[in-house]
Amino acid sequence: MLLWLAQYLQDYIGPMRIFNFITFRAVSAAITAIALGLFTGPAVIRKLTEMKVGQAVRTQGPQTHLKKHGTPTMGGILILISIAISTLLWCDLSNRLIWPVLVVTLGFGAVGWVDDYRKVVYQDPEGMRSGEKYFWMSLIGIAASLYLAFSVSAPTPWEVAQLFWEWVQSGFSMTLPPKADLIVPFFKTISYPLGVWGFIALTYCVIVGTSNAVNFTDGLDGLA
């Protein structure tokens, strides 16, 4: 958003050209996210405490974890707000790869919010059941994987949709260009053609698998 404004003003205000440098925008986005967390964090935590939005601890875990019962939860909303605002302010929003990352982040965040909401309102340490959570995460992951599979070959969302339709009309047999191949780490000249299905499967595993890996390390009590 700020990049568009800076590009409009740079003919009149020379220093605005600094916004064209991705390093400047990356550092600025990081500072913005940190500042948002620092300034809004205490107020959000106080509000969550007043609302008694506390974590329900699993009883089957170690007894020492029971003292964490009532610890304010839903704090992830701070992270999501900081990421969303920083991204919208500082990123090049014409970059088609920005949007799937943001949508996946906010989508998984929404799943986490529902999970925490059920824990708080119903005092259920389990929250969303694993099958339900996996379903919604898979839906988001597959949608992002499909978009990414065709966005590597199409510069605009409209062309992505056209390419996807051509793939459907081809009986799901159309191949992707070489830049969608899997490059073997440390060997830049060695690559493996994934095809559409392989690209989607690998991307899905990375997106959903990474998120679940974090969940598995979240602790027995549901608190990091």
Q: What is the pLDDT of residue 176?
A: 73
Q: What is the pLDDT of residue 223?
A: 45
What percent of the chain shows pLDDT beyond 70? 82
State mean pLDDT over 198-222: 80
pLDDT for 126 beyond 80: no
Output 107 or 188, whichever has higher pLDDT: 107
How far does Cα 100 stand from its chain's mean position? 8
Q: What is the pLDDT of residue 70?
A: 54
Q: What is the pLDDT of residue 141?
A: 95
pLDDT for 111 beyond 80: yes
Q: What three-state secondary structure class fits 222?
A: coil
**Burial of residue 180 (number of CB atoms within 10 Å: 0-12, 13-18, 19+):** buried
pLDDT tens for residues 152-206? 877 777 888 888 888 888 888 877 776 678 888 887 778 888 888 888 999 999 9
**Burial of residue 123 (number of CB atoms within 10 Å: 0-12, 13-18, 19+):** exposed
Q: What is the pTM of this model?
A: 0.79
Q: How far apart are CA 98 and CA 85, in angstroms?
A: 13
pLDDT tens for residues 18-28? 999 999 999 99
Assess contact for 63 and 78: CB atoms under 8 A: no
pLDDT for 8 beyond 90: no
Q: What is the pLDDT of residue 88?
A: 94
Those residues whose C-beta lies under 8 Å from the C-beta of residue 195, and which sit 6 or more positions away, are 175, 176
State mean pLDDT over 41-68: 61
State mean pLDDT over 81-95: 92
State mean pLDDT over 57-83: 64
State mean pLDDT over 201-214: 90
Q: What is the pLDDT of residue 219?
A: 53
Question: How many residues are given for the chain?
Answer: 224
